[in-house]
Amino acid sequence: MSFNILIGDLIHNGDINATRNLFNEMPERNLATWNAMIVRLAHFELDEEGLECFLRSRREGLRPDEFGRAQNGDPEGAFHHFILMKNVGLLPDHVTFVSIISACSDLDALAQGQQVHAQVIHVGVGSVSPVRSPLISMYSKCGCLEDSSMIFSEADASDLVLWSSMIAAYGFHGRGEEANKLFNEMIGEATIIML
């Protein structure tokens, strides 16, 4: 814990050499430490060293999908890790896509979100419900309610999470009448499913 605090302070002060030295001297590194170091190296455009650090973290047993979860609250960091993963030839899974789509949503980054959506389709996880839900939210937050609606209309009608995402999307855009109508449809659908 104390090493992580020191690493954080050095990173905050922008002292990459001292950060690198302390990181290399650490007897044990956890996910937060690897995450901070990789993001900082990418920030200083030390991409080759960042990739090497990423690969070292994999050898020490960290899975790529843990990097997506580790970025909760750090959308820029999520992008850095996503790019690092792709550069070393790691294929993202649906957990990684959920993380990066959420990052696009947090950053209001429509163009990047559309590129990620294209990759989701290319990899073949576009029909996975946990991926569709953040796509609905991302398009909504980026001002593309029609795209949210299109993704929802292609989904399995029995998935209440997707219904909730679309209702929230309508609410976000101040379209209470559509949100209320969809809510009533969801209740009806849930009743049919339960029978």
Tell me if 6 is assigned to some domain: no
**Number of independent structural domains in the chain:** 1
Residue 110, domain member (yes or no): yes
Q: Contacts for 44-51 with beta carbons within 8 Å, 24 or more apart?
A: 44/16, 46/16, 47/87, 50/80, 50/84, 51/84, 51/87, 51/88
Asked if the structure places residue 32 within a domain, the reply is: no
CA torsion through residues 18, 85, 148, 191, sign = negative
Average pLDDT, the chain: 80
Does residue 77 form part of some domain? no
pLDDT at 78: 77
Q: Does pLDDT of 195 surpass 60?
A: no
User: How far is Cα 128 from Cα 93, in angstroms, rounded to an integer?
Assistant: 11
Q: Is residue 176 part of a domain?
A: yes
Looking up tokens 């090497």 gives 52
Whether residue 103 lies inside any domain: the answer is: yes
State pLDDT tens for residues 129-155. Answer: 889 999 999 999 999 999 999 999 988
State residue 149's pLDDT score.
Answer: 95
Residue corresponding to tokens 């996880």: 125
The pLDDT of residue 70 is 46
In a domain, 70, yes or no: no
Q: Is residue 144 part of a domain?
A: yes
| CA-wise closest residue to 133 among 167, 110, 109 | 167
Domain that holds residue 176: 94-195
pLDDT in tens, 17-72: 888 888 888 887 776 677 777 777 777 777 778 778 877 877 775 555 555 744 55
Write down the pTM of the prediction.
0.64
Residue pointed to by tokens 């970025």: 71
* 69 contacts 95 by C-beta, under 8 angstroms: yes
